[in-house]
Amino acid sequence: MKIGDITLKNPVVLAPMAGVCNPAFRLIAKEFGAGLVCAEMVSDKGILHENERSLKMLYVDEREKPLSLQIFGGERESLVAAAKYVDKNTNADIIDINMGCPVPKITKCDAGAKWLLDPDKIYEMVAATVDAVQKPVTVKMRIGWDEDHIYAVKNAQAVERAGGAAVAVHGRTRVQMYEGVADWDIIGEVKKNVSIPVIGNGDISSPQEAKDRMDQYGVDGVMIGRAALGNPWMLYRTVQYLQNGIIAPEPTAREKMNICMLHMDRLIDLKGEDVAAREMRKHTAWYLKGLPQTGSVRNAINQMTTREEMSKLLFDYVDQLEEVQKIS
């Protein structure tokens, strides 16, 4: 798949996820084979006011490339100015505009999913952004605001007319938040009605499902979010399956904990041990998902404040598990 002048080596895309897709996890996703990684959304106003936290979120490690950096905003002037900043001052490859965030704090400012009600605004905002920057501009959207306002096709066509280089479509409305199931028929309709690449997104939970969706709906790429949390193997196994039809084995508990600690080490480099230890609590719970006998280790995670404690907790658990498995 090509997005503007950026060629992806495969069609598997790590979804942008706030609080998750920082350089620590993105680099792991890239090492596990993702063709494109997306960064967590950054506020246009945060960038323009040179908010320290927002500017830190613009950091891109050379090894993560190609990378898409997502901005959100509700007003043309600030959105375009932030896009220009990202264009000139970061080594991101693609500038993505968020048109899917359902959270009231965001939609109240006319940002995120609010755009979905107004294809003309989408055209105007995307055209102004495309004109102002060199990097390819893409959009990530939901299918509509609610079931009475599903303008996915019109909205994607507006992106295309405005010069957008690709569109990623999450098959839910804003009102659905994360309830119900993603409507891939509508994603398929979008694919039939635009000629820019369409990346389908929503509820892909196995390599086979990713391939089925690509085959059935003809999308150019698949974007994977929640299934990759604590499970970058999902990305690797999907790439492998799409490329050679082989279902790679699931990781062992020890492999999972090794990557969990690599994740923690990278987060420590990025944010320091205190913040990393707190942030790793949720990630560790995700890495433990699907493993047996995790009750006591899960309970203990929330008390962890250092790398040493976390490592001991996780590898004691793995040692015990392996002992039990040897015996049985």
Ligand X SMILES: Cc1cc2nc3c(=O)[nH]c(=O)nc-3n(C[C@H](O)[C@H](O)[C@H](O)COP(=O)(O)O)c2cc1C
Query: Per CB under 6 A, which of residues 289..318 are in contact with ligand X?
Result: none
Residue 109 is a catalytic residue: no
One character per residue 144-173, x = contact with ligand X (rule: CB under 6 A): --------------------------x---
How would DSSP label each residue in 112-156? Answer: GGGGGG-HHHHHHHHHHHHHH-SS-EEEEEEEESSTT---HHHHH
What secondary structure letter does DSSP report for 273? H
CB 115 within 8 A of CB 163: no
Q: Which of 38, 101, 109, 260 is catalytic?
A: 101
Considering only residues 84, 226, 254, 281, which one is a binding residue for ligand X as defined by CB under 6 A? 226
Phi then psi for 176, rounded to 5 degrees? -65, -20
**Which region among 17-25, 58-66, 83-91, 148-156 touches ligand X (by CB under 6 A)?**
17-25
CA pseudo-torsion sign 16, 17, 22, 26:
negative
Least distance in angstroms from the C-beta of 141 to ligand X: 9
263 touching ligand X, by CB under 6 A: no
16 touching ligand X, by CB under 6 A: yes
Taking Cα atoms as reference points, which of 185, 129, 130 lies closest to residue 4? Answer: 130
> Which amino acid belongs to residue 50?
E
One character per residue 172-201, x = contact with ligand X (rule: CB under 6 A): -----------------------------x
Residue sitting closest to ligand X (CB)? 225
Residue in the block written with tokens 């909205």? 155
Residues that bind ligand X (CB under 6 A): 15-20, 40-41, 70, 98, 100-101, 140, 170, 201-204, 224-227
- What residues are labeled active site? 101
